[in-house]
């Protein structure tokens, strides 16, 4: 009986303490009473894990509560969660509607997100309660909306407009000068957005909107490194490896690659994996290399799938598995990696890890040739010359072999020398 009473007293004390703790959360109480500012603040705390455990689902709930009361900030935050699938089902159509409502209330950030979605359009979506309407893509209208924001002094709109133009080859050529001007303006502040610095680095490296300037390209990456950008670290390491815009410094390149990998950069993880394979600046460890490649692949980084495919193909760091190699090559090939498209085509051509399919091989060789892969150019030329997987076309086959040889492919040169 005494033990029962003590247990009961303990439970009563615990429940009382719990209730007191619940009552000691004035922010939650205000939010529950419908205070919009409290709902937004509570949502932020749950979203970022400030003052309470991080919980995107609860954060999205409170953003929705604020949104339903007409809060522009609540609508915007809810839209971001809907667009990214953070704490709520991913729905670009729902996100667009939320951004549109917040934009109508004049919120600059919502106007910007709405324009970004409008650029490529939004597909209609079926829901339990019906169908959400889609939005027809309108790059011209989207650009107008972003330029309007720029004129109003909304600085982030400069990068967003440049980034949209940069993302499509035709628009990149058409708006090359504007892209560089937008990015140079966006990068004027000492603490510029690292993403803008990375894109401006690309412009200087590739001569987009002006002359090629490898030093300026490296300067941009160095600034991004100074702000702790993992991607900036990995890319700056590449420059130091090859002496592009900076003196060669392979030790520093390794250190930056390792730092980038530890910070979660897939490019950095891939570079660190290569160091493990080569045993350069670090102990040779193929198993650790494959683990680095796997981490990068988990982030959807196409070159990592290619690296994994090579590892499984050769049995380096893992047990040899040709079928698994074929699968990994396929992931990278479908994501547009030219080297993987060539490898994937070779699998089909040789029947490695899959039933032989010469026509399938030709399909992937053509894709890789379109991206400038010399191995694929040579193999496609041979297929056209011999009629393997495609109708014989000797003039085109010879042209491809000659083009590959002229571009430096040693095997193509050897084949031509025998004729």
What length does the chain have? 419
pLDDT of residue 18: 41
The mean pLDDT value for 295-313 works out to 97
CATH number for 23-154 (one of 3.20.20.80, 1.25.40.10, 1.10.8.640, 1.10.3720.10): it is 1.25.40.10
pLDDT of residue 286: 98
Band of pLDDT at residue 317, cut at 50, 70 and 90: very high
pLDDT of residue 278: 95
Higher pLDDT, 126 or 252: 252
Q: Is the pLDDT of residue 15 over 70?
A: no
Band of pLDDT at residue 130, cut at 50, 70 and 90: confident
The mean pLDDT value for 111-117 works out to 97
Q: Is the pLDDT of residue 378 over 90?
A: yes
Structure tokens at 290: 């494959």
pLDDT of residue 416: 87
d(CA 187, CA 194): 9
Q: Is the pLDDT of residue 9 over 80?
A: no
Kindly state the DSSP code that residue 152 receives in the 8-state scheme: T
Least confidently predicted of 8-17, 302-311, 381-390: 8-17
- What percent of the chain clears pLDDT 90, i.e. is strictly above it? 91
pLDDT of residue 418: 81
Band of pLDDT at residue 128, cut at 50, 70 and 90: confident
Q: Given its phi and psi angles, is residue 127 left (phi above 0), alpha (psi -120 to 50 degrees) or beta?
A: beta
The mean pLDDT value for 4-29 works out to 54
pLDDT of residue 23: 57
C-alpha count within 13 angstroms, C-beta hemisphere, residue 63: 28
Q: Is the pLDDT of residue 340 over 90?
A: yes
Q: Which residues, 6+ apart, have CB-to-CB distance to 75 below 8 Å?
A: 67, 98, 99, 101, 102, 105, 107, 110
Average pLDDT across the chain, whole number: 93
d(CA 110, CA 369): 41
pLDDT of residue 48: 96
Residue 122 has phi, psi (to 5 degrees) of -130, 130
pLDDT, one tens digit per residue, over 249-275 is 999 999 999 999 999 999 999 999 999
Taking the mean position of all CA atoms in its chain, how far away is CA 412?
35
d(CA 353, CA 234): 33
**If we measure between CA atoms, which residue out of 62, 69, 11, 60 comes closest to residue 38?**
62
The mean pLDDT value for 126-152 works out to 93
d(CA 365, CA 362): 5
The mean pLDDT value for 280-285 works out to 96
Per the CB < 8 A criterion, the answer to whether 361 and 338 are in contact is no
The residue with tokens 């198993």 is 287
pLDDT, one tens digit per residue, over 178-215 is 999 999 999 999 999 999 999 999 999 999 999 999 99
Least confidently predicted of 6-20, 155-169, 206-220, 395-409: 6-20
Q: Is the pLDDT of residue 11 over 50?
A: no
Q: Is the pLDDT of residue 6 over 80?
A: no
pLDDT of residue 417: 84
Residue 50 has phi, psi (to 5 degrees) of -100, 125
pLDDT of residue 10: 42
Q: Are strands 125-127 and 130-132 parallel, antiparallel or unpaired?
A: antiparallel
Q: Where are the domains of the chain?
A: 23-154
Residue 110 has phi, psi (to 5 degrees) of -70, -40
Per the CB < 8 A criterion, the answer to whether 113 and 156 are in contact is no
pTM for this predicted structure: 0.83
Neighbours of 152 (CB within 10 A): 10
Band of pLDDT at residue 22, cut at 50, 70 and 90: low
Structure tokens at 297: 């692949």
- What percent of the chain clears pLDDT 70, i.e. is strictly above it? 94
The mean pLDDT value for 7-29 works out to 55
The mean pLDDT value for 350-371 works out to 97
**Per-position b or e across 327-338, b if 16+ CB within 10 A of its CB:** bbbbbbbeeebb
pLDDT, one tens digit per residue, over 24-41 is 789 999 999 999 999 999
pLDDT of residue 160: 97
Taking the mean position of all CA atoms in its chain, how far away is CA 196?
15
pLDDT of residue 129: 80
pLDDT of residue 19: 43
C-alpha gyration radius of the chain: 28
């Amino acid at each position: 009986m005494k033990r029962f009473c003590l247990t009961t007293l303990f439970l009563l004390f615990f429940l009382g303490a719990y209730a007191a703790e619940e009552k000691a959360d004035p922010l939650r109480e205000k939010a529950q009473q419908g205070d919009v500012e409290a709902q937004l603040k509570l949502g932020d705390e749950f979203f970022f894990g400030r003052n309470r455990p991080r919980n995107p689902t609860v954060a999205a709930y409170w953003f929705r509560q604020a949104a339903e009361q007409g809060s522009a900030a609540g609508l915007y935050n809810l839209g971001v969660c809907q667009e990214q699938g953070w704490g709520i089902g991913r729905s670009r159509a729902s996100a667009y509607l939320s951004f549109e409502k917040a934009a109508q209330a004049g919120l600059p950030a919502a106007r910007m997100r709405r324009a970004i979605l409008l650029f490529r359009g939004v597909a209609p979506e079926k829901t339990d309660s019906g169908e959400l309407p889609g939005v027809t893509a309108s790059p011209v209208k989207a650009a107008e909306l972003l330029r309007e924001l720029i004129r109003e002094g909304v600085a982030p709109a400069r990068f967003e407009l440049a980034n949209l133009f940069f993302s499509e080859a035709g628009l990149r050529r058409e708006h090359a000068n504007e892209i560089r001007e937008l990015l140079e303006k966006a990068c004027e502040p000492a603490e510029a957005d690292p993403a803008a610095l990375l894109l401006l680095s690309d412009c200087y490296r590739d001569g987009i909107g002006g002359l090629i300037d490898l030093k300026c390209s490296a300067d941009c990456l160095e600034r991004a490194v100074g702000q702790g950008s993992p991607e900036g670290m990995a890319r700056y390491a590449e420059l130091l490896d090859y002496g592009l815009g900076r003196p060669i410094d392979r030790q520093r390149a390794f250190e930056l690659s390792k730092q980038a990998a530890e910070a979660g950069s897939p490019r950095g993880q891939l570079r660190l994996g290569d160091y493990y394979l080569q045993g350069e600046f670090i102990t040779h460890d193929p198993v650790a290399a494959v683990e680095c490649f796997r981490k990068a692949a988990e982030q959807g980084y196409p070159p990592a799938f290619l690296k994994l495919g090579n590892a499984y193909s050769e049995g380096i760091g893992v047990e040899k598995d040709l079928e698994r190699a074929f699968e990994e090559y396929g992931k990278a090939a479908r994501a547009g990696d030219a080297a993987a498209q060539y490898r994937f085509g070779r699998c089909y051509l040789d029947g490695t890890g899959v039933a032989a399919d010469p026509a399938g091989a030709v399909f992937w060789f053509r894709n890789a040739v379109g991206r400038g892969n010399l191995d694929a150019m040579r193999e496609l030329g041979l297929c056209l010359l011999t009629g393997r997987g495609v109708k014989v076309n000797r003039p085109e086959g010879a042209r491809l072999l000659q083009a590959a040889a002229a571009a430096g492919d040693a095997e193509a040169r050897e084949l031509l020398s025998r004729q």
